[in-house]
Amino acid sequence: MSFSLATWNINSVRLREPLVLKLLAEHGPDVLCLQECKSPVDKIPVEAFKAAGYTHMVARGQKGYNGVAILSKLPLLDAGDQDFAMLGHARHVAAKLENGTTIHNFYVPAGGDKPDREINEKFGQKLDYLSEMRDWFHAEKPEKSILVGDLNIAPREDDVWDHKKLLKVVSHTPVEVEALGEVQDSGAWVDITRQDVPEGNLYSWWSYRAADWDAADKGRRLDHIWATSDISQAGHSSHIVRDARGWEKPSDHAPVFASFDL
């Protein structure tokens, strides 16, 4: 079974419904994982997605904030969710394909502006969330699984536009990179994007604050596709649809793609 998969922080699925439909029409992933849907599940525009061929959805939502959804052409079974750090946020949902592959869709907390949990509660929540992710994967070793989402950390030096300038900026601090590495190790997860594109600058997010995001190109790779080591060699064809960052009324994230032969 071969299938393509994409992950995209959409920054409001209702506001950007036309962009989702554009991506589905032009790129046609078999499975699309969305984060920051900012919608209760019953308000997600499922009829439009069904009309586009995405007849299956597993989602968790809440009004105005967070929210994760998995849209699929392929049949899905709801595989539950986790509320790490007891935040009460819709930040994780899992689904299982008919071939037994589990897909985890995560939206890790951004962590606020100051990388210091003593003065910034949100940074502490982010670190706690990552610690509990790590502990969960240690306790329940994942197999035949794919983990995607906005993990809100750019781990490598070439995942950011300037490593030295961003060392004290939330999303690229050493403590966050270490925490994400521990999550990755706990589940023997393989970074499929970097397996396919091992060298060179690679970004999936560009700030709204930039007057010309494309020319400035001050990006970060915050969005990830991982797979457990038992299926990692089945992953291929990774790419980022950078053009989507320039569509009308865009998300500040671009979709990240990979394909799997399982």
pLDDT in tens, the chain (262 residues): 999 999 999 999 999 999 999 999 999 999 999 999 999 999 999 999 999 999 999 999 999 999 999 999 999 999 999 999 999 999 999 999 999 999 999 999 999 999 999 999 999 999 999 999 999 999 999 999 999 999 999 999 999 999 999 999 999 999 999 999 999 999 999 999 999 999 999 999 999 998 899 999 999 999 999 999 999 999 999 999 999 999 999 999 999 999 999 9
Q: Are 204 and 253 in contact, with CB atoms under 8 Å apart?
A: yes
Domain ranges of the chain: 2-261
Residue 252 marked ligand-binding: yes
Q: Verify whether residue 230 is a known catalytic residue.
A: no
Active site residue 203: no
Pairing mode, if any, of strands 102-107 and 31-35? unpaired
The three-class DSSP label of residue 127 is helix
Q: What is the pLDDT of residue 34?
A: 99
201 labelled ligand-binding: no
Is residue 253 part of an annotated ligand binding site?
A: yes
Quick one: how far is CA 53 from the chain centroid? 22
118 is in an annotated binding site: no
Query: Which residue in 54, 107, 129, 203 is the catalytic one?
Result: 107
The confidence score (pLDDT) of residue 239 equals 98
Whole-angstrom CA distances from 124 to 110, 119, 129, 259 are 11, 9, 9, 35
Q: 68: which strand partners?
A: 35, 60
Closest CA to 214 of 256, 252, 164: 252
Catalytic position from the list 89, 104, 150, 191: 150
105 is annotated as contributing to ligand binding: no
Q: What is the per-residue pLDDT for 154?
A: 98
Residue 107 known to be catalytic: yes
Contact 223, 149 (CB under 8 A): yes
Query: Do 66 and 107 contact (CB within 8 A), yes or no?
Result: yes
Say how far apart CA 93 and CA 76 lie, in whole Å.
12
CATH topology of domain 2-261: Deoxyribonuclease I; Chain A (3.60.10)
**Tokens (6 digits) for 240:** 């980022």
Tell me which residue has tokens 């590495």: 181
